[in-house]
Amino acid sequence: MVEANTDVMGTEGSDWRLSLGLGLTGVWLFLGVLYISNVVGWLDFVHQSAPELGSFLEGAFAPLAFLWLVIGFFLQQRQLAENTLAIQRQYEALCRSAEQAEIQSRAIASNELHARQDTFIDVSRMVSNQLGVIAGYLWMSSQSEDAQQISENWAALGQGDHAVFSRLIIALVFTGNAAAADLCWSTPVRTRHSEEIIRVFERLMRSAEECDPDGMIADAIKVEAHGRLYTFICESRPN
């Protein structure tokens, strides 16, 4: 970009100044030659002493030096201005590139977050099934049902209703047919199942929080049947 601006300056901005300088220089030298030829004479000019010749040349070329100093100043000023403009354009281009990079970075982060959420949803299905099985063991350790009812509940669990036993335990607590503490902590077997539910559910919640900064997935899990069962177990846990 700087090279392009310099080319433009050379073809458009500096030609008239250079032409003017060269023209005035040519005219001044021509007048100097006429002055030597008609006034001083070339023979006398050649035989002048060194100090006199130096003074003559100094006076003759001082205006040219001043002229080219002024022309160089304006040319340099023009070049600096165009270089500044080129740097400004490069800065704007860099800013646009930085904005594009930031947009791409946000898009990559968003895609990564969505991928992690999709992975979590797949994992949460398996964890939900695990919690359903543990809740089934907890239910069977506290209730006596006929073989047909037990078979139907486990069949529902196998068909994808992972919260069937959690709902049964919650229903017992809500209807007052069983105390949560007795249901979850009254025997070593129930205690082991309850502690396993707490461990698995809390790991699930940590994974949900890691892949969902807004907490929407974690809030949804808390109000599901496994989440309510986890709450009952924690609240009824002996000190």
- When pLDDT is averaged across residues 70-89 and rounded to a whole number, the result is 86
The whole-angstrom separation of Cα 157 and Cα 201 is 18
More confident residue, 146 or 114: 114
Does residue 196 register a pLDDT over 90? yes
- Contact assessment for residue 166 and residue 135, using Cβ atoms and an 8 Å cutoff: yes
Decide: helix, strand or coil at residue 47.
Answer: coil
Q: What's the mean per-residue pLDDT of the chain?
A: 83
The answer to whether the pTM exceeds 0.75 is no
Structure confidence at residue 108 (pLDDT): 84
Decide: helix, strand or coil at residue 177.
Answer: coil
Q: What are phi and psi of 3, to 5 degrees?
A: -65, -40
Select from 163, 135, 138, 140 the least CA-distant residue to 150.
140
